């Protein structure tokens, strides 16, 4: 075992390990690095080097996360980042043993995500101001998010060269740089074509964004924050009270497919889930909604 003499260099190599060897996106790798920063700040208060931390030290660190009100789901993510770092330290010869092997993660109850109804999605689309320059672009964005079940990061990086209009599918670069083929609806295709003809073809495109499908007013790639703002604003205009994000449209896409009779394996492939277990949450959503419908409409549950 050797001591760490240059922690900045070790962290830089850790980021490279996550992106190049583990295939993580830059955003996920940076989140792991931020988690390690949290741990290091905590350990520095006790005068303990990160390579000398014991399981007891790490358990106290987890308790400190609870003390400041960090929720179990966020705690689990931070612990995952810390475990990844210690695995890397062992590989690099800084640790003989991994102190995170016996570190428990907090129990997380299954959280059922919010889902929009088809009527609510239509109401959002109806609230788009088509007289504005960005109106047609925003219409195409919502139809693509919902019609293909994309993650927001997949939407903002979607390239023209990944779009096959005639064949009605798109190639999506998902997590871990894994590609998947996703069918695209006729409605989404129509709105994208209108956007390309009416808006994008008249824009001055910034260097480096020539192949990006959805552009901002300055001709550059949109940010994830901008997509979040568009979705949130449309929900407010439509009078929707649910707490939603662009990811809600992805959840709605999967739920509506399942309700329509789609095979769970097919939904898994379209969403790009590595494990079918992740996709199975939509079965729980479907059952929960069925239960609500029964309680609302069955005559034995009608108190009127």
Structure tokens at 207: 């260097």
Neighbours of 245 (CB within 10 A): 17
- On whether the CB atoms of residues 173 and 154 are closer than 8 A, the answer is yes
For residue 208, the SS3 value is: coil
**Which active-site residues does the annotation give?**
151, 175, 247, 250, 273, 282
- The Cα–Cα gap between 86 and 90 comes to 6
In the chain, what is the straight-line distance between the N-terminal and C-terminal CA atoms, in Å? Answer: 73
- The Cα–Cα gap between 137 and 202 comes to 13
**Order of strands across the sheet with 169-173?**
163-164, 169-173, 179-183
Q: Where do the DSSP E strands lie in 120-240?
A: 163-164, 169-173, 179-183
- On whether the CB atoms of residues 166 and 218 are closer than 8 A, the answer is no
Q: For tokens 């996920």, what's the residue?
A: 28
């Amino acid at each position: 075992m050797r001591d760490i003499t240059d922690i900045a260099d070790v962290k830089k190599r850790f980021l490279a390990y996550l992106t190049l060897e583990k295939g993580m996106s830059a955003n996920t790798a940076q989140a792991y690095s931020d988690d390690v920063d949290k741990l290091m700040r905590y350990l520095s208060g006790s005068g303990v080097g990160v390579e000398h931390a014991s399981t007891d030290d790490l358990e106290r660190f987890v308790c400190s996360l609870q003390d400041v009100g960090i929720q179990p789901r966020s705690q689990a993510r931070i612990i995952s980042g810390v475990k990844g770092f210690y695995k890397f330290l062992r590989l690099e010869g800084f640790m003989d043993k991994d102190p995170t092997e016996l570190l428990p993660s907090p129990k997380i109850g299954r959280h059922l995500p919010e889902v929009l109804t088809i009527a609510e999605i239509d109401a959002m689309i109806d609230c788009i101001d088509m007289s504005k320059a960005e109106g047609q672009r925003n219409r195409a964005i919502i139809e693509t998010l919902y019609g293909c079940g994309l993650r927001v990061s997949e939407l903002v990086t979607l390239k023209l060269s990944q779009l096959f209009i005639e064949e009605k599918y798109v190639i999506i670069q998902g997590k871990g740089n894994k590609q998947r083929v996703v069918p695209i609806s006729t409605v989404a295709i129509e709105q994208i074509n209108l956007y390309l003809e009416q808006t994008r073809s008249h824009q001055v495109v910034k260097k480096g964004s020539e192949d990006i499908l959805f552009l901002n007013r300055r001709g550059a790639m949109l940010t994830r924050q901008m997509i979040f703002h568009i979705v949130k604003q449309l929900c407010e205009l439509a009078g929707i009270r649910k707490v939603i994000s662009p990811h809600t449209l992805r959840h709605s896409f999967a739920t509506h497919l399942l309700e329509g009779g789609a095979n769970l394996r097919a939904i898994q492939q379209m969403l790009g889930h590595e494990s079918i277990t992740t996709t199975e949450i939509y079965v729980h959503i479907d059952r929960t909604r069925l239960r609500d419908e029964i309680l609302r409409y069955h005559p034995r549950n009608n108190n009127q």
